Structure 1
Amino acid sequence: MSTNSHRPSVTELRLSAFKSHRGASFPLGPLTLLAGPSGSGKSSVLEALGVLGQLAAGEELEAVFDGVRGGVAACVPDGAQPDAEGRRGFRIGCTVQGPVGPVQLDVAVQTEPELRIVGERLVGAGETLLSTALRDPGRRQVQAAWHTAGLVPVTRAPLPDDRLATSLLPLRVAGTTEGQRLVLAAAEQVVLALRGVFPVDPRPQGMRTPAAVSDGMLRGGCDNLSAVLRRTQGECRTRHAALVGALREVCRPPVEGLTVVPGTRPEPGTDSVLAAIDRGPAGLVPVDRLGDGELRFLALALVLLTGPGVLEVDTSGEVPDAVQVLTVLADGLDTGLDRAQSRKLLDLARQVAERGHIRLVGTVHDETVAEGADGVTLLRLGTPVEDRERVPVQGTGPDSERTGAAMR
């Protein structure tokens, strides 16, 4: 796994029936932006991918929807009516490219009358590698069948209905036949890619508070940014220097450096720090004095310039960082930022995407920030089916495109 093509990554998201989306498919490149009017479903795309990420990490179904707007009930497609037995739900899926080739995962979730996974399908190498179905509604399990290609072509067994079956396969499949080894490889490819999904939503107010020195794994809300900057300053000097350089380009000058100063926390015996910008002759300016836009830029740039050893993401500890890909989800990437800051973030995202370790899927309010930005795939939501098109973004390289995606 020495090349980018061998690092498992999510290349397509399918929303067969999820919130406002029906029969929608989204191609995901290394740097993907979603634009469209308010209510067109941009945030829902990121939420669906976040749901798949948590399921792949083995989380129980009920806990997965804590961070989804409106909870699990809001995931049911708009206007969907229950069937004769009072059942409603949603369907989502994705394609993961990796050593096995493209592998497709599709999941059907029932939300009423009981929350459960009622169907799942894993397809790769021209085979249906796994399928599950709810046979007995009175039992909290599904009947699973996976490809074996041995003396018995298919192995069947019950699995719990509150976990993603694909994530459980490494514990259930022996790997003694060629078919079983294919199933394991495909499942591990999907799980590895999805466990690298990291939703980020920087909250400036939380970043203005000192962080405990021991709190060194960056959370999605970035409230512990100061403690993480203390780590990167000592452990990742090259990336820390790149972060300072980015700040110098787009934030109020002068910016000579980025460091931390002692903080005060109410917990007795807890050492804490607060990040500060070195403004040269003007001295150190703690981040609690910065504006929301500067703080959001700092947090998002830090996320793009770090990796699984710094971000609080549940990647596989059994796989080297060098062959893992993080997919950063940034809803409202340009919120509170001026044009120069937004463009600099896109430039950083392009640079790290070229190295193959971090991909970005974000939503933007102003799609013109992508004009002339190299390597960006722009998905425009809210366009009718007959207007689907792919045309290059003006001034970009050969890999950049603007996609008019049908969302209805």
Structure 2
Amino acid sequence: MAVPSALPSPSDSTAPPGPLPPTPVDVRPRLTELRLSAFAGHRRTGLPLGPVTLIAGRSGSGKSSALAAYEALARLGGGTPLGEVFPDPLACVPERARPDREGRRGFRIGCTADGAEGPVRLDVAVQAEPHLRIVGERLTADGVVLLETALRDPGRRTVQAAWHTAGSAPVTRAPLPDDRLGTALLPLRVAGKTDGQRRVLAAAEQMVVALRSVFPCDPRPECMRRPVPTGSGRLLTGCDNLADVLWRTRAECGRRHALLVEAVRAGCAGRVTDLVAEPLPDGTVRALLDRGDGFRTGIGLLGDGELRYLALALVLLTGPGVLAVDTPGEVPDALRSLTLLTDNFDRALDPGQRRALLQVAVRMAARGHIRCVGAVSDATWAAGEEGVTVVHLGP
């Protein structure tokens, strides 16, 4: 990326204005669209995803199932077997979907990942009955099909895959297991010798990195109030071990901790000068709010809204090294965005807390290292907030 080596001095009135440096292009892989072609209560549903996205709708409109589809794609991208991703696959089949002559029913989901390779689309068809299996998968970029799989022999637990080669043969064909996402397996199968193969690998890597960098979070205040044993210092999805994580992060990153304390002041009642973790004689650790006058309040005394606010703020202000998420270790943090998924984003929060938390999400997303997708029943309170994409489901 070329940048002018010298710009005219502002005091030099005779010099013509120099060209502005180009705007940096964000090449971090990230999902920009979630497609629910036929999934649970959704038909032909497309959800645009921005740095901060709120999915709004009444109870039963499909907010939770949309997040479930996103999380399912993320787990498939990480190589998790299909049966672990969908323990109850029939719940994902559209209610009015009728079986074909062989008694087969299923569902279809997909997404688009943007990054250095441009928009890359992934679409997956899953058979839920009589046997759970991936029966079709397509990875495309710029209108070119880079990977396509299809079920040829129902009696075998494989699908026939064909990926773009653009060499002496236009495609390479080979069987792949029907319980794994083929896109995630491509780095183990594609040699990368031709331009076509290298294009396939680059697109697959972009999709997999975008999918794997996901942290589903649903803070459970009833579990956060108790002291916890010291452990890995990696935050669990329910945030039960928040005190243990604070014990680690307060010592390791003073700048991020100061930002967290600033956020806590906006979301917790009373004066807050610090957020500390205190080891106890039995080997556990508890978290406390320092009130600055020699008095400390254990977080066990905080309300549900304060605890949920505290936990989500901590997630937004940390990163993959602190969260219990399996991110691709071969990709530098600078080239990766972590996506926070949270159902009932504003549950138990008062108006001031939810707006302060949203502003934390927007501020951190602007740095490019974190994205946020949350479900809310009503998003009118977020109207006009710059950097927030609101998607309405239902009538």
Query: Cα offset for 1:34?
Result: 1.1
CA contact (8 A) 2:247 2:278 kept: no
Query: Which residue in 2 is equivalent to 1:100?
Result: 117
CA contact (8 A) 2:63 2:393 kept: yes
Query: Cα offset for 1:314?
Result: 1.1
In 1: Cα distance, 2:298 partner to 2:140 partner = 52
Please say if 1:309 is aligned against 2:326.
no
Query: Cα offset for 1:48?
Result: 0.4
In 2: Cα distance, 1:4 partner to 1:313 partner = 26
Task: State the TM-score, normalizing by the size of structure 2.
Answer: 0.92
In 2: Cα distance, 1:119 partner to 1:349 partner = 36
Q: Report the aligned-residue RMSD.
A: 1.4
Please say if 1:322 is aligned against 2:322.
no
Please say if 1:147 is aligned against 2:168.
no
Runs of 4+ displaced beyond 4 Å: 1-4
Please say if 1:62 is aligned against 2:74.
no
Aligned residue among 263, 271, 275 for 1:246 = 263
In 2: Cα distance, 1:263 partner to 1:20 partner = 49
Give the residue type in structure 2 aligned to 1:333.
F
Q: Deviations over 1:118-152 (max 9, x none)?
A: 10000013310000001111110100000000111
Aligned residue among 43, 56, 66 for 1:22 = 43
Query: Cα offset for 1:281?
Result: 2.5
Tell me: CA distance 1:254–1:4, structure 2 relative to 1, closer, same or farther (3 Å).
farther
Larger Rg: 2
Give the residue type in structure 1 aligned to 2:354.
S
Aligned residue among 106, 126, 131 for 2:148 = 131
Please say if 1:236 is aligned against 2:253.
yes
In 2: Cα distance, 1:193 partner to 1:272 partner = 36
Where in structure 1 are there 5+ consecutive unaligned residues?
Answer: 266-270, 384-408
In 2: Cα distance, 1:137 partner to 1:372 partner = 52
Please say if 1:338 is aligned against 2:355.
no
In 2: Cα distance, 1:65 partner to 1:202 partner = 22
Give the residue type in structure 2 aligned to 1:213.
T
In 1: Cα distance, 2:281 partner to 2:211 partner = 38
1:4-403 equivalence runs, <5 A: 5-66=26-87, 71-263=88-280, 271-281=283-293, 283-383=295-395
CA contact (8 A) 1:35 1:381 kept: yes
Q: Deviations over 1:311-349 (max 9, x none)?
A: 111111001111101111111010000011000111011
CA contact (8 A) 1:211 1:263 kept: no
Give 3-state SS (helix, strand or coil) of 2:341's partner.
strand
CA contact (8 A) 2:28 2:116 kept: yes
Q: Deviations over 1:185-234 (max 9, x none)?
A: 00000000000111110001111122222231111111111111111101
CA contact (8 A) 1:5 1:97 kept: no
Q: Deviations over 1:377-397 (max 9, x none)?
A: 1111113xxxxxxxxxxxxxx
Q: Deviations over 1:4-49 (max 9, x none)?
A: 6200000000000000000010110111101111111111111100
Give 3-state SS (helix, strand or coil) of 2:131's partner.
coil
Give the residue type in structure 1 aligned to 2:108.
R
In 2: Cα distance, 1:327 partner to 1:4 partner = 19
In 2: Cα distance, 1:319 partner to 1:3 partner = 20
Task: State the TM-score, normalizing by the size of structure 1.
Answer: 0.89
- Percent identity (aligned): 61
Tell me: CA distance 1:349–1:110, structure 2 relative to 1, closer, same or farther (3 Å).
same
In 1: Cα distance, 2:102 partner to 2:281 partner = 57
Give the residue type in structure 2 aligned to 1:8.
P
